Amino acid sequence: MLFHARMDVRIPHDMDPDVRADLVARERAYSQELQRAGKWPHLWRIVGEYANVSVFDVADNNELHDLLAGLPLFPYMEIVVTPLATHPSDIDA
């Protein structure tokens, strides 16, 4: 199943810089692992914001929830998820 997710990151400004750097490094490693596994095939930055739009390819809602909850930055994110379906006019479908 494909899901579109918009993730807005809101790390507290007063977070210790070393803690922040570690958190961001762990986030990068985890997200890249999911990308290599084919679970996170698309990831785009939203210009001018600490946010992204992504497409996830997972078995079901539960798998997506587990993947998102596993993000080190999850406690600092607002995430909006939209399930996707094939469009009848898509020539590649």
> Counting beta carbons within 10 angstroms of the beta carbon of residue 13, is it exposed (0 to 12), middle (13 to 18) or buried (19 or more)?
exposed
Residue 93: predicted pLDDT: 78
Residue 89 lies in a domain: no
Residue pair 60/2 in contact (Cβ under 8 Å)? The answer is: no
**Domains held by the chain: number:** 1
Residue 18 lies in a domain: yes
Residue 76 lies in a domain: yes
- Write out the residue range of the structural domain in which residue 40 sits: 2-84
Residue 91 lies in a domain: no
Q: What is the full per-residue pLDDT of the chain (93 aa) written as tens digits?
A: 999 999 999 999 999 999 999 999 999 999 999 999 999 999 999 999 999 999 999 999 999 999 999 999 999 999 999 999 999 999 987
Could you tell me how far CA 15 lies from the centroid of its own chain? 22
Residue 72: predicted pLDDT: 98
Q: What is the CATH number of the domain that holds 77?
A: 3.30.70.1060
Residue 64 lies in a domain: yes
What are the structure tokens assigned to 69, written together? 């909850």
Residue pair 5/68 in contact (Cβ under 8 Å)? The answer is: yes
Residue 36: predicted pLDDT: 98
